[in-house]
Amino acid sequence: MSKIVLVTGATSGFGKATAEIFASNKHNVIITGRRKERLDELKNELEQKYGIKVYSLSFDVRNREEAFSSINSLPQEWRAIDVLVNNAGLAAGRDHFDDASMEDWENMLDTNVKGLLYVTKAVLPFMTERKKGHIINLGSTAAKEVYEKGNVYCATKHAVDALSQSMRIDLLKHKIKVTAIHPGAAETEFSMVRFKGDKAQADKIYEGYQPLSAEDVANVIYYTTSLPEHVCINDLVLTCLAQANSFYTHK
């Protein structure tokens, strides 16, 4: 049966690939992000290629009012959201704690933690009233281990891990599944954002091994939604073959 899937951060990387895999499996998708032109382009592409419906909402997850008013502006027929993929997020900078920028810290906390909370809280009433839903939160291997110069990024992902566990307990009474997905290094726009457009620094992260792709992660996200009603993957770590954990990559 066709589902309605809301993906945050669908203008790039995992979010874009996730919107595509759901669309290719004949599900209707709500795509969100700040870059409206990319959303418009993706909407046209997915509708034409797969014959499904796409609804696009452009907003900044850091802005609580915008997040709520955007989600509450959804027409009635789009409110029966079956799957929410909380993917929008970023790392900003990679510096020792004493050198790191407070603006970067606030940006990561506001996006990765508060943004995820706003979107979830706005979507939840649509799920609780139907006693049905699946929330998928993008953590990271950085949610499991803290690495040098990872300080606040790792803290935001540890928060996503803790919140996923907590949502799972509190939302069970509404029959809502909560899955946390923790990818290791994946080549998307992530490192370009982290290193503020420094391509040489970004490329270096993926040198000497084959990292995950956005499609690899999207396939796993999709898989977790394809299981029988009574089965839930709670927590899943995935890395490329060359990576064992946050600290060890065999190059």
92-108 in b/e form (b: 16+ CB < 10 A) is: bbbeeeeebeeebbebb
Residues 223 and 37: their CA atoms lie apart, in Å, by 29
Residues 142 and 144: their CA atoms lie apart, in Å, by 5
Contact 185, 249 (CB under 8 A): yes
Check 50, 118, 153, 222 and give the catalytic one: 153
Contact 64, 118 (CB under 8 A): yes
The token pair that represents 222 in the structure block: 């999709």
Question: With binding defined as CB under 6 A, does residue 112 bind ligand 8X3?
Answer: no
Stretch that binds ligand 8X3, among 100-108, 117-125, 134-142, 214-222 (CB under 6 A): 134-142
Phi, psi of 77, rounded to the nearest 5 degrees: -70, -10
Of the candidates 64, 65, 5, 15, which has an alpha carbon nearest to the alpha carbon of residue 35? 15
Among this protein's residues, is 50 annotated catalytic? no
Question: With binding defined as CB under 6 A, does residue 35 bind ligand NDP?
Answer: yes
Question: With binding defined as CB under 6 A, does residue 12 bind ligand NDP?
Answer: yes
Select 127 or 220, whichever has its Cβ closest to ligand NDP: 220
Contact 209, 249 (CB under 8 A): yes
Stretch that binds ligand NDP, among 23-31, 43-51, 189-197, 229-237 (CB under 6 A): 189-197
Of the candidates 121, 124, 94, which has an alpha carbon nearest to the alpha carbon of residue 108? 94
Question: With binding defined as CB under 6 A, does residue 89 bind ligand NDP?
Answer: yes
- The site map against ligand NDP for 136-155 (x = CB under 6 A) is --x-x---------------
Question: With binding defined as CB under 6 A, does residue 46 bind ligand NDP?
Answer: no
Question: With binding defined as CB under 6 A, does residue 249 bind ligand 8X3?
Answer: no
Select 92 or 176, whichever has its Cβ closest to ligand NDP: 92
Which of 54, 67, 116, 185 contacts ligand 8X3 by CB under 6 A?
185
Amino acid letter, residue 160: V
How many residues does this entry show for the chain? 251
Instruction: Name the binder of 14 from ligand 8X3, ligand NDP, none, CB < 5-8 A by kind.
Output: ligand NDP
Question: With binding defined as CB under 6 A, does residue 189 bind ligand NDP?
Answer: yes
Minimum CB–partner distance for residue 99 and ligand 8X3 (Å): 18
Which runs of E-coded beta strand occur in 66-112?
83-86
Binding residues (CB under 6 A) for ligand NDP: these are 9-15, 33-35, 60-62, 87-90, 111, 115, 138, 140, 183, 185-186, 188-190, 193
Q: Hey, which residues are catalytic here?
A: 153
